[in-house]
Structure formats: structure tokens, C-alpha cells
A = this chain, B = another copy of it.
Amino acid sequence: MNVEQKLAELGWTLPEAPKPIAAYVPAVRSGNLLFVSAQLPTREGKLLATGKVPSAVPIPLAQQAAALCAVNALAVAFAELGDWQRLVRVVRIGVFVQSDDGFGDQAKVANGASELLQQVMGDAGRHARATIGVNALPLNTAVEAEFLFEVR
């Protein structure tokens, strides 16, 4: 699985693993599960999208933000594992979309993350998912997502 090459083909660069914004750690491994903390769509420390979807953030930008959360999660996983061969698959992702009341297209937004993981990791990128809308998120981010990987 050549994650970085696949990311490059899609126009992404693997960043440094983002640092947590508060008193937690980027990831914890227990057995063969790697729990990656909820990621924000930050690039070089700046949020890609803030505010509610779709009034402040149109769906295509929110999808990009979800994809960026996934890229950041891959960076965290690599920082923990040191070797892509130890990344077995994505097990579950949780996607949180800051939503206007009445907005119901959170699944489209979350697809930004889901499709990126499958494009980059193939079948190993397929995952169970829970996606919800919320009225507020940390730092006013439009999207936040957490990731559970199986590792070896």
C-alpha cells in the first residue's frame, strides 16, 4: 500500500501529523486497534472551513474539509506506526458536520473523507461510518472526523 504516492496522484501531500489542540494525544493503540483523535481540517495550522454547512460553507468545500481530516488522520497514523505496512485497514470513522437546522446532506459531506480513504487505500480503506450534524464544533470548524484503524 503506497499511501503517499496515491495521495500525490490525488493532489495531496502527506503533512506533518497535526498536534492536538488540547490535553489529549494524537492516537492510542490498544491491541490491533489504533484510535486516532478527532481531526480538524487544518493545513499548516489553518482551518480550511469554518461555520455551518451549507449557509457558511458550501457542500463541495465541506467535502474537501472532510477529505483533509482523513489526510491528517493518515499523517497521525504514519507518525505512530512509522511504516505503512503496519496499517491494515480503516475500521470505522465518525464524521461531525456543523449543520444548519434542517440540513440533511451530512452523508455527502462525509463522503469527502470516505472516498479519499478508498481511493488511497483501496479495499483496505472501506469502513463502517457514523455521520451526524451538530450545531457547534471546536474552533468553529465546519467538519471534524475521528478514525479507527486496524494495525499490525
Contact = CB atoms under 8 A, between A and B. Distances in A.
Interface of A: 20-28, 30-33, 35-38, 89-94, 96-97, 99-108, 110-111, 114-115, 118, 126-141, 144, 146, 148, 150
Contacts of A103: 136
A128 B32 contact: no
Nearest to A100: B136
Copies of this chain held together in the complex: 3
A90 to B, nearest CB: 8
A28 B138 contact: no
24 contacts: A22-B111, A24-B129, A28-B127, A31-B31, A37-B128, A37-B129, A38-B131, A96-B130, A96-B132, A97-B136, A102-B140, A104-B137, A104-B138, A105-B138, A106-B138, A107-B138, A130-B144, A132-B136, A132-B137, A132-B144, A133-B137, A133-B138, A134-B134, A134-B136
A23 B93 CA distance: 12
A138 B104 CA distance: 4
Contacts of A134: 132-136
